[in-house]
Structure 1
Amino acid sequence: MMKRKINCESARAFPIEKALAKLGHFPQRTAEKEAWFLSPFRSETQASFKVSKTMNRWYDHGEGMGGNVIDLVCRILKCSVKEALAYLNQDWPSFSFQQQQHFNTNDIGITLTKIQNIKHPALIQYLNLRGIPLHVAKVYCHEVWYSFKNSKFFAIGLRNDKGGWELRNRIFKNGCSPKSYTYLRRINTKLIIMEGMFDLLSLAVLNEALINDSDVLVLNSLAFVKDIEVHFSDYDMVHLYFDRDGAGRNVTLYLTNKYSHVLDKSDGYKDHKDLNDFLCHERKRWN
């Protein structure tokens, strides 16, 4: 039997708490008639986003505005009412964190509960906002579900060489220890070095052939610069694609002054802060 499509009237009865869970937002505290969340519209440390369970309405005290579940989905996903209805109509599976295998528990309190291919619409939308096609992200990253301080989250994850993860979504920038760099070895004579996950994904969009014909090292933190120097002697060329901020420029000068075969390639995006900023600018031109 075909599933009946919902309309605006029936969609307004869709529980806001369930919609927020589908979008990766979970309550900080709950009571019989209400639940409080960190606002899905900005970063904050104290929950100011209230959901009335009896009225099935939301109110963001930080912005002084609220609405129904359709308003909420439209704003979070930046989509039309028609697209919001289609999203609410989807039969997405519910995720049971109690029944998931625990992959890792570490000293900062993050517990991984599930690692899978990227498929959550909120993460796909986040990738689109950053100019990254899903098929590119799937080559290097996964969808990682985790719990932190009794709350549940999901993110785009890039695994490092020690088994930890760099975790990114639209709101949070997080990591799961052990911390380390990510080294993609393809036995080439050229090494490309970048700062973070989205530098890798951006260069894969901008120049797929270059990425495929090079070994790639993603620092995940500039603190690992000293650790990766041991690999430089294995290559004829080392190309740097660091951020064009103070920290990135300082590390670039340090490495290019110390090694004759290390070259700064950031002139290719000299009017932008990093590769992803450049990609997003170019994407607007392509469109």
Structure 2
Amino acid sequence: MMKRKINCERARAFPIGRALAKLGHFPQKTAEKEAWFLSPFRSETQASFKVSKTRNRWYDHGEGSGGNVIDLVCRILKCSVKEALTFLDEDGFCFSFQQPQHLSPNETSLTILKIKRIKHPALIQYLNLRGIPLHVANAYCHEVWYTFKNSKFFAIGLQNNKNGWELRNKIFKNSNSPKTYTHLQRNTKQLIILEGMFDLLSLAVLNAPLIEVSDIMVLNSIAFIENIESHISDYEIVDLYLDNDSAGQKATLYLTKKYSHVNDQSDGYKNHKDLNNFLCHERKS
């Protein structure tokens, strides 16, 4: 069955809270019908940006303006409506606003062909470049062959909880539908939350004993913070290893303020963008 291309009507139903999370903005306070954020348009210390959960509309009391989710994405990203629709299409392929691509629907379809243990020399070389031993990668990931833009590719793949795949090789960063987080459960009372597959693989190299005694949550997108919150209360200890960028730091602050048993572990790689950047630096030292 062919995937329906997202249009304005479907995009307007995309929850504003989730769009803001995808952009690195998290609520200061929430209620059943509304949430309050610091304005994404300016610096402020009191939350004046209101999101109605029932109407899925936003209103910035600081400047007296509001609108729908498409208006919001266009304004924050300074992009066109077409680019905003692509951003809001969670089931679509990864999109970069730094290098806009204009592709037809046929070009954006991604079909999985086969899944196997990682053996391809090019993928092994890519893992070596990122400091990941083959046996570690094969413990969590697979070699995935797929078609994209009418061509055949292969990549390292991490499966998510809806059987979609995050796909990485030296050239491309892709994913297929449905896109969501990956939850690796070992029935422990400790949860580790990471952003992406290479954060998981890097931590497995840096601290294998910790990985082996913990449940793991790989977000696959910072936007899924909202989706995984329901799991946090299931654990006694939750450790965050999110990226040291604006979105990662905002997500970390949001979760550590909201939950007393959530701990920020980014200090261990504070001078690096993420765990893999830290691992690669350590290998060179």
Give the TM-score, by structure 1 length: 0.62
Question: What is the aligned partner in structure 2 of residue 158 from structure 1?
Answer: 158
State the structure with bigger RCO (CA 8 A, min sep 6), 1 or 2: 2
User: How do 1:96-245 residues align onto structure 2 when only pairs under 5 Å count?
Assistant: 108-245=108-245
| Per-residue deviation, 1:123 | 0.2
Q: Secondary structure in 2 aligned to 1:234? A: coil
Q: Please, which runs of 5 or more residues in structure 2 have no aligned partner?
A: 1-98
C-alpha deviations, 1:104-128, integer Å up to 9, x for none? xx99510111100000000000000
Question: What is the aligned partner in structure 1 of residue 281 from structure 2?
Answer: 281
Q: Please, which runs of 5 or more residues in structure 1 have no aligned partner?
A: 1-42, 47-105
| Per-residue deviation, 1:284 | 1.1
The answer to whether the 8 Å contact 2:107/2:150 transfers is: no
| Per-residue deviation, 1:139 | 0.2
Q: Secondary structure in 1 aligned to 2:163? A: coil
- State how far apart, in whole Å, the 2-side matches of 1:181 and 1:268 are: 24
State the aligned residue count: 184
Q: Which has the larger radius of gyration?
A: 1
- State how far apart, in whole Å, the 2-side matches of 1:282 and 1:194 are: 19
- State how far apart, in whole Å, the 2-side matches of 1:44 and 1:245 are: 22
Identity among equivalent pairs (%) = 70
Q: Secondary structure in 1 aligned to 2:233? A: helix
CA distance 1:107–1:258, change in 2 (3 Å): farther
- State how far apart, in whole Å, the 2-side matches of 1:44 and 1:107 are: 15
Question: What is the aligned partner in structure 2 of residue 59 from structure 1?
Answer: none
Structure 1 runs (4+) deviating above 6 angstroms are 43-46
Give the TM-score, by structure 2 length: 0.63
Q: Secondary structure in 1 aligned to 2:123? A: helix
- State how far apart, in whole Å, the 2-side matches of 1:238 and 1:107 are: 40
Query: What amino acid is aligned across from residue 244 of structure 2 in structure 1?
Result: R
C-alpha deviations, 1:70-101, integer Å up to 9, x for none? xxxxxxxxxxxxxxxxxxxxxxxxxxxxxxxx
The answer to whether the 8 Å contact 2:108/2:149 transfers is: no
